[in-house]
């Protein structure tokens, strides 16, 4: 049995998109992105109250990078992983986990722009700093993109980084990263990507949150 616990527009979209790319059967449990995650029954499954959580054959996995590794090992025929003896194994692993380097800045910016409801709780300095640090991570993706994908062919690395870029694009314009923008356009055309999107926004009510968007 495979069951994904998911909140729309969060890191669990990464796992949902990957499951759809693999075309395998799974159960999906969708939660609102609120205190429900810190309450029972979810708290027993994931004590830090975060998503994603994947239940797979009696085991529980709570890190999106680990979920990608577990799914790619379990379903090698999908061709989205890179085995330990594959020449692309190291860059594949590095991209899978670099998604979190991007996402930590997205999380900080989501907290600033979305989670903190009162303007006086927000910090323009943090917003600007985090947006600048996020842009630097996008620069690394821009430098790493050589062809149509991050590796020689499409893989879970494109899904993980692609979903991180989906979140990042709410805070940093992709215009300054032409290869990332073109690659992300191609990813957005994928059926599995679209299946991982919500019908209605669950977290980001705007397409873009500029760092200077504060009352003076
Ligand atoms: N390193 C974890 C991070 C998981 C995480 O923090 N997810 C966020 C959503 S993007 C969350 O559930 N936040 C809820 C909270 O912090 O209370 C992963 O890669 O899965």
Query: Does position 213 have pLDDT exceeding 70, yes or no?
Result: no
User: Could you tell me how far CA 124 lies from the centroid of its own chain?
Assistant: 24
Q: Spell out the domains of the chain, with CATH numbers in brackets.
A: 2-78 (3.40.30.10), 89-195 (1.20.1050.10)
Query: What is the percentage of the chain residues whose pLDDT exceeds 70?
Result: 98
User: Could you tell me how far CA 101 lies from the centroid of its own chain?
Assistant: 11
In this prediction, residues 159-181 reach a mean pLDDT of: 98
Cβ burial of 164 (10 Å; 0-12, 13-18, 19+) is buried
In this prediction, residues 155-172 reach a mean pLDDT of: 98
Q: What is the pLDDT of residues 97-148, one digit of tens each?
A: 999 999 999 999 999 999 998 989 999 999 999 999 999 999 999 999 988 9
> Is the distance from the beta carbon of residue 55 to the nearest atom of ligand 1 less than 6 Å?
no
Pocket test for ligand 1, best of 4, 29, 50, 159 (most atoms within 8 A of CB): 50
Q: What is the pLDDT of residues 2-31, one digit of tens each?
A: 999 999 999 999 999 999 999 999 999 999
What is the Cα–Cα distance from 81 to 89, expressed in whole angstroms? 8
Q: Dihedral of the CA atoms 200, 51, 93, 139 (nearest 10)?
A: 50
> Is the distance from the beta carbon of residue 14 to the nearest atom of ligand 1 less than 6 Å?
no
How do the residues of the chain divide into helix, strand and coil, expressed in percent and rounded to 5?
55, 5, 40
CA–centroid distance, 207 to ligand 1, in Å, is 21
Mean pLDDT of the chain: 96
Query: Does position 187 have pLDDT exceeding 90, yes or no?
Result: yes
Query: Does position 215 have pLDDT exceeding 80, yes or no?
Result: no
> Is the distance from the beta carbon of residue 50 to the nearest atom of ligand 1 less than 6 Å?
yes
Confidence of residue 212 (pLDDT cuts 50, 70, 90): low
Pocket test for ligand 1, best of 8, 12, 45, 51 (most atoms within 8 A of CB): 51
Write down the pTM of the prediction: 0.97
């Amino acid at each position: 049995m495979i069951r994904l616990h998911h909140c729309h527009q969060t890191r669990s979209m990464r796992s949902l998109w990957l499951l759809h790319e693999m075309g395998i059967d799974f159960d999906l449990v969708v939660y609102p992105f609120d205190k429900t995650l810190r309450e029972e029954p979810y708290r027993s499954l994931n004590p830090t109250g975060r998503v994603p959580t994947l239940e797979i054959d009696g085991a529980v996995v709570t890190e999106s990078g680990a979920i990608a590794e577990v799914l790619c090992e379990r379903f090698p025929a999908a061709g989205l992983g890179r085995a330990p003896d594959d020449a692309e194994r190291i860059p594949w692993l590095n991209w899978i986990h670099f998604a979190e380097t991007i996402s930590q800045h997205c999380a900080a910016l989501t907290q600033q722009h979305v989670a903190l409801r009162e303007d006086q709780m927000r910090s323009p300095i943090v917003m600007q700093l985090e947006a600048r640090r996020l842009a630097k991570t996008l620069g690394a993706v821009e430098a790493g993109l050589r062809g149509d994908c991050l590796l020689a062919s499409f893989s879970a690395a494109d899904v993980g980084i692609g979903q991180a870029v989906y979140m990042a694009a709410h805070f940093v314009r992709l215009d300054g990263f032409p290869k990332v923008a073109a690659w992300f356009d191609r990813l957005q055309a994928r059926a599995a990507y679209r299946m991982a999107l919500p019908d209605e926004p669950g977290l980001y009510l705007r397409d873009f949150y500029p760092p200077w968007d504060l009352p003076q």
